[in-house]
Amino acid sequence: MTRNRVWFLTGASRGLDRACAEAALAAGDRVVAAARDLGPLTDLAATHPDRLLRLAR
């Protein structure tokens, strides 16, 4: 059985939430990543465009 998980992470551009976003995406999960600065999430968005939603907070 496949589980489709969605993670909502605030402060996802750095630190622990960034690491969680990377791990979740590597596991095939979807991520909603909120951050003040979306620039550092550009690489993840390019690698996982169908599974990462970036939100400015």
pLDDT at 3: 79
Count of domains forming the chain: 1
Whether 50 is covered by a domain: the verdict is yes
**Cross-strand partners of 23:** none
pLDDT at 10: 94
1-52: pLDDT as tens digits: 567 899 999 999 999 999 999 999 999 999 999 999 999 999 999 999 999 9
Neighbours of 18 (CB within 10 A): 18
CA gap 50, 24 in Å, rounded = 13
pLDDT at 4: 84
Owning domain of residue 32: 6-56
Residue type, 14: R
pLDDT at 1: 59
Whether 18 is covered by a domain: the verdict is yes
Dump strand ranges (E) for 1-57: 6-10, 30-35, 52-56
Structure tokens at 27: 């596991």
Whether 1 is covered by a domain: the verdict is no
Q: Are 4 and 29 in contact (CB under 8 A)?
A: yes
